[in-house]
Chains A and B, each alone.
Chain A
């Protein structure tokens, strides 16, 4: 219970930790680049295949019962509301959150975090705050890329294999269009970003010992982030779509 409270308090303590803003900004840019730009290939691949699979499965379910634009409507809703934000967060958890835990954990056992404290530099401000802020900025953008790529992949696939032209597919996406679907997707991304980046840093800070504990921290960060994503997703479903 105490650890849960500590985990919940950790990101807020980090965000409000004191330090020089200009230095936080430099590291924020570094992490934004690492999380964002370097994750784009992964997001493109995941997004494209997600769009293809979703289109195939949806077509299989509805093709004989509904008009063709329903394919775009259903795939678009699924991607925007559910699969886009969740799969983006899960992909980034695997690529970046585990790295956060491993990097900070290694710094902990090699006394680099102690060195920061000796130099009167807040480790939370130096290591955690830029990561959380970078993730808050970048994850919603990656979510937008994931959704866009998956919809284009789905639309192209539908035209080639299901004789549903691209304009019909996109007509389905935009008719009807509920702005709420759009902004909820990004609100979810922001909440996912906050908690998964916190989990990575938190488990890194918990490391004591050696390489085995760093590996365990990395695993814990991924497992807890995955669970947190699913719990938050459920809460969002209840709050916005029930």
Chain B
């Protein structure tokens, strides 16, 4: 379980996270909010890339987290296969053959062809890069996955494909987005609204709290 307890984060006078608390256990939690409200900051605090001003993150011992970056953060000098294999190659004791088998198994789950694995990531579209980033995040079979705006800037078809992948993976974790459409496609039930630093649970993505001016 990931427990987010009383997290506060301030940049100058701007309070982006104000006493934020929630827990993630066996389902995908969605944090919805307009651009610039601190959703990415929240994820970065959870993963350890940023420090909160107050509060703490508790992750059960032995549990691991995968992270899908907003802009994919792939390594341009490596091809698709090498990008996906990187965490295993650097951190596991698996042999080359075992790593290869694991990459192929993940590629199969995500519908990536053998030819695609050979491509250089600089030649990929935004959507393809996101899929590779998801593949890299799940290659270690983490307990949770954090998705930072996984569908931002994608065409409708690719958007739907990414949502379908996330839905089919059925991995618990946190997904932050500013898109109601993404939440509907994924079918998430556990939704929070981050607004003015405060996190409020929504009854559904069609909640009256989500006004047109914020999310359309």
Q: Mark B68-99, 1 if CB is under 8 A from A, else 0.
A: 01110111000000000011011100000000
Which B residues touch A121, using CB under 8 A? 86-87, 90-91
Q: With a CB–CB cut-off of 8 A, which chain B residues contact A194?
A: none
B49 CB-CB contact with A under 8 Å: yes
Complexed CA–CA distance, A150 and B202 (Å)? 75
B interface footprint on A124-162 (CB within 8 Å = 1, 0 otherwise): 001000000000000000000000000000000000000
A-B contact pairs, 28 of them (CB 8 A): A19-B90, A20-B90, A110-B73, A111-B69, A111-B70, A111-B71, A111-B73, A112-B73, A112-B74, A114-B44, A114-B49, A114-B73, A115-B67, A115-B69, A115-B73, A115-B75, A117-B48, A117-B49, A118-B47, A118-B48, A118-B49, A118-B65, A119-B90, A119-B91, A120-B87, A121-B90, A121-B91, A126-B90
Residues of chain B in range 10-27 having any CB-CB distance to chain A below 8 Å: none
On chain A, the residues within 8 Å of B70 by CB distance are 111
Closest to A26 in B: B89
How many Å lie between the Cα of A229 and that of B127 in the bound state?
Answer: 46
Is A23 in the interface zone, CB < 8 Å from B? Answer: yes
Q: Which residues of A contact B89 (CB under 8 A)?
A: 23
Contacts of A107 in B (CB 8 A): 75
The answer to whether A23 touches B90, judged by C-beta atoms less than 8 angstroms apart, is yes
A118 near B90 (CB under 8 angstroms)?
A: no
- Give the number of A-B contacts (CB < 8 Å): 41
A51 to B65, CA, bound (A): 58
Bound Cα distance A241, B89 (Å):
49
The distance in angstroms between the C-alpha atoms of A111 and B69, with both chains bound, is: 8
- The complex places the Cα of A117 from the Cα of B67 at a distance, in Å, of 11
Min CB distance A105 to B, Å, is 13
Distance A115 CA – B91 CA, assembled complex (angstroms)? 14
User: Which of B48, B75, B91 touches A112 (beta carbons < 8 Å)?
Assistant: B75
The answer for the CA separation of A114 and B89 in the assembled complex, in Å, is 18
**Which residue from chain A places its CB closest to the CB of B50 in the assembled complex?**
A114
Residue of chain B at shortest CB distance from A19:
B90
The closest CB in chain B to the CB of A113 belongs to: B73
Given A112-B75, A114-B49: A119 and B69 interface contact (C-beta under 8 Å): no
Complexed CA–CA distance, A107 and B76 (Å): 9
Across-interface contacts of A114 in B (CB, < 8 A): 44, 49, 69, 73
Check if B67 sits within 8 Å of A118, measured CB to CB.
yes
Q: How far is the CB of A78 from chain B (nearest CB, A)?
A: 40
The residue of chain B having its C-beta at the shortest distance from the C-beta of A120 within the complex is B91
Cβ-defined contact, A110 with B71, below 8 A: yes
For B64, the closest partner residue in chain A by CB is A120
Residues of B within 8 A of A20 (CB): 90
* B184 to A: closest C-beta gap in Å: 28
- Hey, what's the 0/1 contact readout for B42-76 against A, CB within 8 Å counting as 1? 00100111000000000000000101011101110
Q: Which residues in window 10-34 of A have CB below 8 A to B? A: 19-20, 23
B149 to chain A, nearest CB (A): 12
Q: How many Å lie between the Cα of A20 and that of B87 in the bound state?
A: 12
Tell me, rounded to whole Å, the shortest Cβ–Cβ distance linking A114 to chain B.
Answer: 5
Check B71 against A119 for contact (C-beta < 8 Å).
no
List A172-190 residues whose CB lies under 8 Å from chain B.
none
For B86, list chain A residues within 8 Å (CB).
119, 121
Min C-beta distance of B1 to chain A, whole Å: 19
Q: Which residue of A lies closest to B66 (CB)?
A: A118
Chain A residues closer than 8 Å to B69, beta-carbon distance:
111, 114-115
- Of chain B, the residue at the smallest CB distance from A121 is B90
A residues less than 8 Å from B44 (CB atoms): 114
Residues of A within 8 A of B75 (CB): 107, 112, 115
Q: Taking the nearest CB of chain B, how far is it from the CB of A32, in angstroms?
A: 15
Chain A residues lying within 8 Å of B73, measured Cβ to Cβ, are: 110-112, 114-115
| Chain B minimum-CB-distance residue to A109 | B71
Closest A-B pairs by Cβ, 3 of them: A115-B73, A111-B73, A119-B87
Q: What residue of chain B has the Cβ atom nearest to residue A111's Cβ?
A: B73
Shortest Cβ distance from residue B157 to the other chain A in the assembled complex, whole angstroms? 25
Q: How far is the CB of A86 from chain B (nearest CB, A)?
A: 31
